Structure 1
Amino acid sequence: MRFILLHSPLTGPAAWGPVAAELAARGIEATRPVLPPMAALARPYYESAAQAVAAQVLSQGGPFVLAVHSAAGGLAPSVVAAARGQVRGVLYVDAIPPHPGRCWFETAGDGLVASLKSKARDGMIPAWDQWFPAGALESLLPEGPLRDRFVGELAPTPLDWFEEAAPLTDLPKDVGWGFLRLSKAYEREAGEARRLGWPTLRRDLHHLSMAAHPVEVASAMLALTRLLGLKVGA
């Protein structure tokens, strides 16, 4: 069994690069599919994004454990459905839990929603690094090639995507679902995961720790996978 490491629609695959390298060093295969910019996808966005991921991974053969970060949590049920039974477990890594019938804006705090809507221009929300005060990203990722790649993958996102309701997709009962909280900002989401009965682990790191602390994150992901009764690697 191998990992699929799915980045947020608001970032890019570079965020998962260090964890993919750490897993490879442990003899575990991990694929990083690339979500096209939402502006390049047809609506409905959730379905188009899920099909784009499935097209990249199904040719490799499963089964898979899907790990999703941040806003990719809302896409996970659609990706599982598009993967035609090949996903055995889903790890929500500082990610938004499933929100069928609700849009991204309904999962966020009122202050952030108001701030983003005020920043929208020509129907587009600015790139993720422009959401926060100067220096916020620099405090999470040290200066260097990785941060350059991360920033280079950021792009504005259509306001329509934030307003599109996630599909009314049931969570398959034969798939294991777990939550790894990396930052205190996702404590509410971790609580929701526990309410759903998911195994939940907490690490006091930060939201981009897949890039900055890959050893700790990879170890926590493997521990969570074991809690789901799954085995990755040979």
Structure 2
Amino acid sequence: MDGGSGLNIMYAKTLDEIGIDRSNLHPIRAPFHSVVPGKHALPLGQIDLPVTFENQFNYRTEILTFDVVGFPKTFHAILGHPCYAKFMAVPNYTYLKLKMLGPRGVITIGTSFQRAYECEVECCGHAAAIIASRELTTLREEVTKEAPDAKKSTGSFKLESTLIGFLCDNKDIFAWKPLDMPSIPREVAKHTLKICLGSKPVRQRLHCFDEKKCRTIGEEIAKLSAAGFIKEV
């Protein structure tokens, strides 16, 4: 699970291992970055697959869209922000836990610190091998020797158009306003203040803001209140 990733990624070898033919992939035109160190990655295609958490007594299944990549794997798949949003899942990276609401209560997914460490070591070794590879060295030399010309502006325009097209195609995974994110039940996540019993409350001094900031604060509070994130007590 990677809440910082904007994509759900599956490796082609994983797809082969679960017996799904690559002819089922849908073509995709946009590359993505920060997956392979030092260069952009071109996916083989996209595929929609059902993903289930927990067991037969309390489980949750959703259809997720995966970008399938063909380079060597360090994981079976990477579940990113779209997965978190679809399942309304809440992670805790300190305890390596992921919680979501199921039909019979809260579903908790976890792993061991030893397994997480092993995966991290494997990823670091894989990244180091790519960085040290001859292919990446050649790529850096080409970029260094490349002289600036008028074609760069055309390339930038094409890249911008590709990015805009990608964002438009995937606009449904973004939360544009608080109402796009339903309230998370307290059974899944709740924050409390640990106050010592017997402590005397201290009233803070009044903070004053200018008219523009007050108006903006009021608008944001109204949005959060309408979405059920906060309420007056």
TM-score range, shorter chain: under 0.3
TM-score by length of 2: 0.23
More strand by share: 2
Decide which structure has the larger Cα Rg and report it. 2
TM-score normalized with structure 1 length: 0.23
Q: Which protein has greater RCO, CA pairs closer than 8 Å, 6+ apart?
A: 1
